[in-house]
Amino acid sequence: MKQPIVDYQLDLENHWVARLECGHCQHVRHDPPWTIREWTQTAEGRTSMIGYQLDCKKCDERSPRDWIAE
């Protein structure tokens, strides 16, 4: 199920995690050559992707939320 990115946070290993509107989180690593997400490397790049929809497998599985909106 497609869900828009609403914010980001860093995990304990300093990798970027997208917070999705549904309440789930998803890593958005830039890990060449396997995954190319150069936009994660700058604040401007991350901001430009707010609203971009990612496939949320946790929604498909009906998993509980990872975070609660403030």
Per-residue pLDDT of the chain (70 residues; tens, 9 = 90+): 999 999 999 999 999 999 999 999 999 999 888 999 999 999 999 999 999 999 999 999 999 999 775 5
**Domain-located, residue 36:** yes
Domain hosting 40: range is 2-57
User: φ, ψ for residue 59 (rounded to 5)?
Assistant: -65, -45
pTM: 0.89
Total domain count for the chain? 1
Q: Count Cα atoms within 13 angstroms, Cβ side, for 39.
A: 12
**Domain-located, residue 62:** no
**Domain-located, residue 67:** no
**Domain-located, residue 66:** no
